[in-house]
Amino acid sequence: MRVLLTGAAGFIGARIAALLADAGHDVVAADAMLPAAHGEGAELPAGMHRADVRDAAAVAELLAGVDVVCHQAAVVGAGVDAADSPSYASHNDYGTAVLLAEMFAAGCRRLVLASSMVVYGQGGYVCPQHGAVDPTPRTRADLDGGVFDHRCPVCGAQVRWDLVAEDAPLRPRSLYAASKVAQEHYALAWSESTGGSVVALRYHNVYGPGMPRDTPYSGVAAIFRSALEAGSPPRVFEDGGQMRDFVHVDDIAAANVAAIEADSDGFDTFNVCSGQPVSILDVATALCDARGDFTPVVTGEYRSGDVRHIVADPAKAERLLGFRAAVDPADGLRAFAGAPLRA
């Protein structure tokens, strides 16, 4: 198949491009080479098109003969403050709208969309007495007192985390999350109106070689790695018990290839995760142990609005896409401790 891959020079996009080529697909690789993602003056990789998905004419040219679009281009991260909102809306939402319009004009009716776990907001929670509940926000009194878990909105008991399935409500809690929900909604409306196929892949915590170094938009794994390289121990917020699912970038690439090769109709969403939840403290400890130079510092500090737990149910992706993560987080994090990062 001929595949248009946007964001092809990025951390994830580059892995997808390589795996698609290995699988025999004809890849049309494009990237806007935004300085925030690649640094000032970064050179365009050989064989790649410099193109911004907000540029309709450029997108139209790239779509010639394309069977499926794999849309990875996005401004990522939780955002620093409200001043970031126009950037998210422009690159992620408007860019996706332009891409969908040009796909319609070109007669291309298949899209694989990079989405994110952040669309869920907080994760799933279960009360021992009342079952599945939607807990109220954590109080400052609890946080100041070192009580970090949510409480049941009915009885006030502390609740435990549960796996999040794709039918969970979408409740974005950051600017980036709002932009990813909007991307999904544009894609859903496009699918309904054109009869096109959309597979939205909700990535969980991605890590691996080539991950960007410590920036306000980095994932926590890269932030911990950057601290170690700078000669400082990783600083872990709260009590370190926050549960996440860390999925290797090679598995993310494999999930995209599976989605591209799947015979899918309509609009559908899939968690892309390892299926092996791990605590933030365990991640920091694994990196420290692999390098042998530091021990994590559990600070007890917290940030207002942080999500306590969010872990995913991987069953649907395995059942319908045939995708199952191959990299065990214990092995992947050990290797990541010494892997090169992107400047």
The residue extents of the domains of the chain are: 2-121+164-210+245-275+311-327, 124-162
Torsion of CA 280, 284, 287, 289, to 10 degrees: -120
CA 191/CA 15 separation, integer angstroms: 27
Three-class secondary structure assignment of 142-159: HHHCCCCCCECCCCCCEC
CB atoms within 10 A of CB 269: 21
Backbone φ, ψ for residue 264 (5° rounding): -115, 155
The model's confidence at residue 57, banded by pLDDT at 50, 70 and 90, is: very high
How deeply is 342 buried, as exposed, middle or buried, from its count of CB atoms within 10 A (0-12, 13-18, 19+)?
middle
Candidates 2.60.40.10, 3.20.80.10, 3.30.230.70, 3.40.50.720; CATH matching 2-121+164-210+245-275+311-327: 3.40.50.720
Using the predicted structure, report yes or no on whether residue 36 has a pLDDT greater than 90.
no
Conformation bin of residue 326: beta by default, left when phi > 0, alpha when psi is -120 to 50: alpha
C-beta separation of 204 from 123 below 8 A: no
Report the mean per-residue pLDDT for the chain: 94
pLDDT-based confidence at residue 136 (cuts at 50, 70, 90): confident
Instruction: Tell me the CB-side half-sphere exposure of residue 238, using CA atoms within 13 A.
Output: 22
pLDDT category of residue 313 using cuts at 50, 70 and 90: very high
pLDDT beyond 70 at 10? yes
CA distances from 340 to 54, 247, 335 (A): 31, 17, 10
- The reported pTM is 0.95
Average pLDDT over residues 82-109: 95
Record the tokens describing residue 343, joined without a space: 């400047």
Phi-psi region of 224 (alpha: psi -120 to 50; beta: other; left: phi over 0): alpha
* CA pair distance 94, 86, nearest whole angstrom: 10
3-state secondary structure of 4: strand
Across 208-235, average pLDDT: 86
The better pLDDT of the pair 81, 236 is held by 236
